[in-house]
Structure 1
Amino acid sequence: MNRLFQLLAACVLLVAGGSAAQAAPPQLQDLEGKRIAILSGTAGDLAARRQFPDAQFVELTTTSDAALAVDTGKADAFVFDKSVLINLAAKNPQLRIVEQPVGRLDVAVAMRKDNAALQAEIDGVLAALKQEGELQRLRAKWVDSRYTTPPPMPSFDQTGRRGVLRMGTSAENEPFSFHARGELAGLDIELIHLIGQRLDKRIEIVDLHFDTLIPALQSKKIDVALANFNVTEERKKLIRYSTPYLDNDISALVRAQAPAAGAENDGLPRWFRSVADSFHSNIILEDRYLLIWDGLKTTVIISVFSTLLGTLLGGVICFMRMSARRLLKVPARIYIAILRGTPVLVLLMLIFYVVFASIHIDPVLVAIIAFGMNFAAYSAEIFRTGIEGVDKGQTEAGIALGFTRVSTFVNVVLPQTIHRILPVFKGEFISLVKMTSVVGYIAVQDLTKASDIIRSRTFDAFFPLVMIAILYFLISWVLLQSLGYLERVTDPKYGRKAGGS
């Protein structure tokens, strides 16, 4: 146990019933040289590097992951906006906030550099909301109230006579933007609707990973970003900010105590009670099973249609690759080399943020195109290897018997090729299913994204991840059974056995 945990453990006195009396709260100086979790590029990141120059920094992508890193001992502290840390600490009594602030931050609306007109409009709305006391009301409702159950979201009348305002957010950042009761809630969500009302624009909200918000702004996928967006000098070089609508402390979240001993015995085994509680909080509470169901459908749709597109495109690429004409062969070889050498996440983001930058397109369709293109590069080589594995003498024999080249290929070569390639094809297909877990980067709510949303609300690392792993296994197993049936019916030995029986 490192020095920090020794200090914190010494600060905790466990008494009957699990209560703890803390003798000496942790101080900032106790974190010198320790492991500090940060979200890259945020004001918390910059403040932590200034305050703890000798620390080891653990860069993560979500607040829930950073808090889990502290809770499990992967990091000694997490430096971020105090409003978010208070919410995280409320969900886990093992965590607490160091009283001394690390720094201060301003929160503002982010826009593209070239959108000065929109900035002027939003600044005018924010000034009016501040004068009317609306900004203070939002802060009191979402930040200062220390609620246990999220407050209900009000209804908004959106006529949209002046068009649409697309807002990007990262809905894993309570109390600013998060999923509650089957809808997006939080300070930023309520604020953007108020802005939309004042500007007479209809609001469309796009849920993205936090680190893709700036690319989404620059590629015009969204008009504004509200996700507890801290104002930093580095970000000012890339984007434009409104006047700040909130300021707050930057604080450090640390592990404060060991798990309390002597838990109540209600007659049930401890593990069973733990699983039952996790099932209720992760699945039943706030109808979170609907997130899983929607994510499951999206994952299956992307997997199946990407495979179909990739198989058809792969057949075309294979034909070009095996052609004697250089005009067809060379482009096919280049395509295969580039697509096989490019990570699928990079390809996905290039297509969404560059190729379709100025086009409003369903991100699910973009995912199908990206994964289909990637799968085509691999399937083309699988097809080519299978075709070349069939003895050329069989093609010659078919032609000698009066068949055309096409009919010989369809009736003689293709059945043997399918049987040869199916074992390898199945492996590539399952790899594609698992690779779809990155589609959350382009605002697609698949199984992995649903798990991230649930973890950000329940602060439970084990149950959501295991549940999603089981669902991915079930998807893969069902699809493998389908391909296994195809493999059996194309096996001549299977046909003879079935006929003999």
Structure 2
Amino acid sequence: MQKQWLKWFVVGMLVFVGASICSRSVHADDSLQRVKEKGVLTVATSPDYPPFEFQVNQHGHAKDVGMDIELAKQIARDLGVRLQVKNMDFNALLVAIQTGKADLAIGGINPTPARQQNADFSQIYYYGGESFLVNRADAGKLNRQSALKGLKVGTQTGTMQERLAKQKLKGTHVVTMDKATDLILALKTHKVDAVGVETPVAKAYVENDPELKDFKAAYQLNPKDTGSAVALPKGATTLQTAVNHSIQTAKTDHLFPKYLKTAGKYMQVNTANTSMWHYWKYFLAGLKETLLISVCAVLGGIGLGVILALMRLSSLKWLSWPALSYVEVVRGTPMMVQVLLVYFGLGVFINIPALPAGIIAVTLNSAAYVSEIIRGGINSVAKGQGEATRSLGLTKADALRFVILPQAFKNIWPALGNEFISVIKESSIVSIIGVTDLVYELNVVRADTYRGVAPIVVVMVIYFVLTFTLTRLLNYWEKKMKHT
């Protein structure tokens, strides 16, 4: 019976969210009018793809730059509104426009037939072509596409390069990763033999990293779905017309070569000083976000966990079953899925910013595990304690507050400590929706400096210091509890 209740609970949630998303499409198109009324054009991008979009260090603060960002600025100027850039993983860009998190998505996106089923696109604004990156030491033998047969070729997940590699590179093992920076690191550490990217991206890496070399791909390409275009929500025809007008103006005025030149200047600025100390403000900003998320999730997880534990222990089915269902759903699904559901799913009804959405998701996840820890702690308290409280005339609430829970927390303190440490580490998953935590800043620094390992070491040390300090504090309080 409980499993049946859980199944209908999950199905109901999926139908509710799906129906809400679909309901957006029944209204007449007012996409352009809505952008002008709010005075802001929100553009989603993944700033790890130079020279299309990346970030530059300006006085210790990250600034989104690149050819695509220049185009987004031009579109916003033409509309007479302010530009707001939202950073997230490439895989989340189309979801962002489908759920209303962004008005446009831009990021070297190819308007493939599969993508056109879920989004509308502007006219093609740039044809870059396809290339492969290899280590310069291997350039003598890996200088043409046919030489890749039997080797490992890396591509970014969900991109045109992934589709082309899987379709065209027969006898080649295709390795996909979410971040272009991860692919470059995999190439330089010989986890893959080559990386498929667009030609401008390949040129950008070769010009800024002497260890890399590139060569042109031999794909037979269809220009209709291999160029870069701006993605829009389905049915946003008025906004699409305005975007196309801006793109055509930029083409007529020959602005795209200027955009690429500007991007090249920014890339030279990034590589002028690639020391980790130069980016200390990035790591500090990420540390603040990580600590904020962790503290809020721990406090919220304990509060909600106590409530869920008491519901689970209740003899009333209408209290125990919802709590049981909640715990099973959370423990049975990855935290990444939960973060995406809170940010994009709930975003259908409430436009929750990335940071609050990340805090909510991590808190809800932690609460499920904390509730089971607390429930076990309450059950570990001897039944005689409860009988003693009743003999003293204490109410159930007072007995729970003053006798049962204090003893339970003393018993479960080590387990709670482990959960707190896990929250600090697992909160890094929120970087997928653009929360600027330590892992997000790690990827920014890697993209900016073309250094794959050094930023990872810095962030690893920061996490170790955090968890080691917390472990010492938890051990101190555990000893204090034993003597009380």
TM score, norm. by length of structure 2: 0.67
1:116 aligns with 2:237: yes
**Is the 2:136–2:213 contact (alpha carbons within 8 Å) kept by the matching residues of 1?**
no
- Is the CA contact 1:426–1:480 (under 8 Å) kept in the aligned structure 2? yes
CA deviation vs aligned residue, 1:361-414 (integer Å, no higher than 9, x gap): 221111111111111111111111111111111221222133333333333222
Q: Is it true that 1:137 corresponds to 2:258 in the alignment? A: yes
Pairwise CA distance, 1:35? 1.0
* Distance in 1 of aligned mates of 2:209 and 2:479: 52
1:149 and 2:268 matched: yes
Q: Answer yes or no: is the 8 Å Cα contact 1:309–1:372 preserved in 2.
A: yes
Cα deviation 1:258-303 (Å, max 9, x = unaligned): xxxxxxxxxxxxxxxxxxx9xx624233xx2111111000000000
User: Which residue type is aligned with residue 123 of structure 1?
Assistant: N
SS of the residue corresponding to residue 479 of structure 2 reads: helix
Task: Report the CA distance shift for 1:67/1:339 in structure 2 as closer, same or farther (over 3 A).
Answer: same
State the AA in 2 paired with 1:284.
W
Q: Is the 8 A contact 1:130 1:136 kept in 2?
A: no
Q: Secondary structure at the match of 1:359?
A: coil
Q: Residues of 2 paired with 1:39 and 1:365: CA distance?
A: 28
Deviations 1:128-166 (A, max 9, x none): 222122233223443xx687624xxxxxxxxxxxxxxxx
Report the CA distance between 1:482 and its aligned residue.
Answer: 3.7
| Among candidates 169, 177, 181, match of residue 64 of structure 1 | 181
Aligned twin of 2:338: 347
Match of 1:435 among 426, 431, 448: 426
User: What's the offset of the Cα at 1:59?
Assistant: 0.7
Indicate the SS of the match to 1:490. helix
Q: How far 1:99 sits from its partner (Å)?
A: 4.5
Match of 2:274 in 1: 281
Deviations 1:294-335 (A, max 9, x none): 100000000010111111011111111111111111111111
Q: What residue is the counterpart of 2:227 in the other structure?
A: 106
Deviations 1:180-202 (Å, cap 9, x if unpaired)? Answer: 69xxxxxxxxxxxxxxxxxxxxx
For 1:421, give the aligned amino acid. I
Give the structure 2 partner of residue 46 of structure 1.
163
Indicate the residue corresponding to 2:47 in structure 1: none
**Which residue is equivalent to 2:148?**
31
Kindly provide the amino acid, as one letter, of the partner of residue 56 in structure 1. Answer: H
User: Are the aligned partners of 1:321 and 1:333 in contact in 2 as well (CA < 8 Å)?
Assistant: yes
1:311 aligned residue: 302
* Secondary structure of 1:58 counterpart: strand
Cα distance change, pair 99–355 in 1 and its aligned pair in 2 (3 A): closer
Where do 5+ consecutive residues of structure 1 fail to align? 1-6, 13-23, 151-179, 182-276, 496-501
Structure-1 separation of matches of 2:406 and 2:186: 52
Task: Output aligned runs, 1:318-357, within 5 Å.
Answer: 318-357=309-348
The alpha-carbon distance between structure 1 residues 428 and 125, as it changes in their structure 2 partners (threshold 3 A), is same
- 125-134 or 434-443, which deviates more: 125-134
- Aligned equivalent of 2:438, options 441, 447, 450: 447
Return the offset for 1:44: 2.0
Q: CA deviation digits over 1:406-449, x for unaligned, max 9?
A: 33333322221111010011111111111111111111010011
| Aligned residue number for residue 76 of structure 1 | 193
Give the corresponding residue for 1:96.
Answer: 213
Amino acid of the structure 2 residue aligned with 1:402: G
Q: Distance in 2 between matches of 1:415 and 1:147?
A: 58
Write the mapping of 1:370-381 to structure 2, written as runs, cut at 5 A: 370-381=361-372
Q: Is the 8 A contact 1:382 1:425 kept in 2?
A: yes
Question: Residues 349-498 of structure 1: matches in 2 within 5 Å?
Answer: 349-491=340-482, 494-495=483-484
Deviation at 1:8, TM superposition (A): 7.8
8 Å contact 1:418–1:490 — kept in the other structure? no
Q: In the alignment, is the contact (CA less than 8 A) between 1:282 and 1:464 conserved in 2?
A: no
What is the rounded CA distance, in whole Å, between the counterparts of 1:321 and 1:370 in structure 2?
A: 21
Identity of aligned residues (%): 29
What residue is the counterpart of 2:249 in the other structure?
Answer: 128
Letter in 2 for 1:85: A
* C-alpha displacement of 1:113: 1.6
From the superposition, tell whether residues 134 and 416 of structure 1 become closer, same or farther in structure 2 (CA, over 3 Å): same
Give secondary structure in 1 for the equivalent of 2:155.
strand
Determine if contact 2:300/2:363 at 8 Å carries over to the other structure. yes
**Largest Rg, 1 or 2:** 1
Q: Kindly provide the CA deviation profile for residues 59-106 of structure 1, in whole angstroms up to 9, marking residues without a partner as x.
A: 111222112222211111111111111122233322101256546641
Q: Is the 8 A contact 1:320 1:328 kept in 2?
A: yes
Aligned residues, how many?
A: 347
Distance 1:397 1:39, change over 3 A: same
- Secondary structure of 1:338's counterpart equals helix
Partner Cα distance (2:445, 2:250) in 1: 32
Report the Cα offset of residue 50 of structure 1: 4.1
Gaps of 5+ in 2: 1-134
**For residue 52 of structure 1, what is the amino acid of its counterpart?**
L
Contact preservation (8 Å) 1:33, 1:52 = no
Alignment of 1:254-293 (within 5 A): 281-285=274-278, 288-293=279-284
3-state secondary structure, aligned to 2:315: coil
Q: What is the root-mean-square deviation of aligned Cα atoms in Å?
A: 2.6
CA contact (8 A) 1:8 1:26 kept: no
SS of 1:59 mapped into structure 2: strand
Match of 2:289 in 1: 298
Within 2, Cα distance between the matches of 1:68 and 1:10?
A: 16
Contact 2:139-2:213 within 8 A present in 1 as well: no
Query: 1:79 aligns to what SS in structure 2?
Result: strand
Whole-Å Cα distance in 2 between the matches of residues 90 and 134 of structure 1?
22
Instruction: Tell me, in whole angstroms, the C-alpha distance in 2 between the residues paired with 1:468 and 1:325.
Output: 47
Q: What code does the residue aligned with 1:64 have?
A: T
